[in-house]
Chain A
Amino acid sequence: EAAVTQSPRSKVAVTGGKVTLSCHQTNNHDYMYWYRQDTGHGLRLIHYSYVADSTEKGDIPDGYKASRPSQENFSLILELASLSQTAVYFCASRTGFEQYFGPGTRLTVL
């Protein structure tokens, strides 16, 4: 019954490969976000979206693309994965000022 789910929960990818991280929400929220979490850097915003078929760049968009095909689904795409993209990735949806986060995806790029 979790409102924001992410898949996969963990993934090992090879350098130069394509990676897609998926997020699904049942909150019926318009806003969705992708964050990256690294030790010592807190949460950094990669991309966000406030309506289906539209995405916006956050603070660190380089190397990432986003796709919002429907209100419920929001994907993060790494076309050419690099070692520096090893991190934990969180998706969130938002109502008012309250954000609801998913459980995270741990991505390791080798």
Chain B
Amino acid sequence: GDSVTQTEGQVALSEEDFLTIHCNYSASGYPALFWYVQYPGEGPQFLFRASRDKEKGSSRGFEATYDKGTTSFHLRKASVQESDSAVYYCALGEHSNNRIFFGDGTQLVVKP
């Protein structure tokens, strides 16, 4: 079945560090891929999506590129800020399915 794997459970960085959160997926078809962000005390919120191979999604300085060859959609940001501290979820969805599959989430902690 469809699934999403996030390698890191937690990432700890200092401000202005470079961020990478790894996301790999498994799907029977050609899924759309997403990143969601959840700030403390809130529900997850949509960050951005990509729908086809080599497409780059981006928002708020975060970006990820859809790679069908390596089945990956890694989240990157060049310079993190303390306000980026949150949980980040990678997810996928297929038109043939009524649901979206989420990874387990990665807790990002950014120290000033």
Contacts of A40 in B (CB 8 A): 9, 104
Q: How many Å lie between the Cα of A58 and that of B98 in the bound state?
A: 10
Chain A residues 18 to 49 lying within 8 A of chain B, measured CB to CB, are 31, 33, 40-43, 45, 48
Stretch of B43-51, B60-68, B72-80 at the chain-chain interface: B43-51
Contacts of A65 in B (CB 8 A): none
User: Is A102's CB under 8 angstroms from B99's CB?
Assistant: no
- Assuming the A-B contacts A97-B93, A98-B49, are A90 and B99 also in contact, with contact meaning beta carbons closer than 8 angstroms in the complex? no
Query: How many interface residues does A have (CB within 8 Å)?
Result: 23
Interface of A is mostly: strand
Query: How many interface residues does B have (CB within 8 Å)?
Result: 20
User: Is A102's CB under 8 angstroms from B49's CB?
Assistant: no
The answer to whether B100 has its CB under 8 Å from any CB of chain A is yes
User: Is A90's CB under 8 angstroms from B102's CB?
Assistant: no
Q: Name the residue on A nearest B46 (C-beta).
A: A98
Q: How many Å lie between the Cα of A90 and that of B34 in the bound state?
A: 18
A 87-98 to B, binary, CB cutoff 8 A, 1 in contact else 0: 000101010011
Contacts of B36 in A (CB 8 A): 99
Q: How many Å lie between the Cα of A104 and that of B89 in the bound state?
A: 16
The answer to whether B19 has its CB under 8 Å from any CB of chain A is no
User: Is B93's CB under 8 angstroms from A43's CB?
Assistant: no
The answer to whether B110 has its CB under 8 Å from any CB of chain A is no
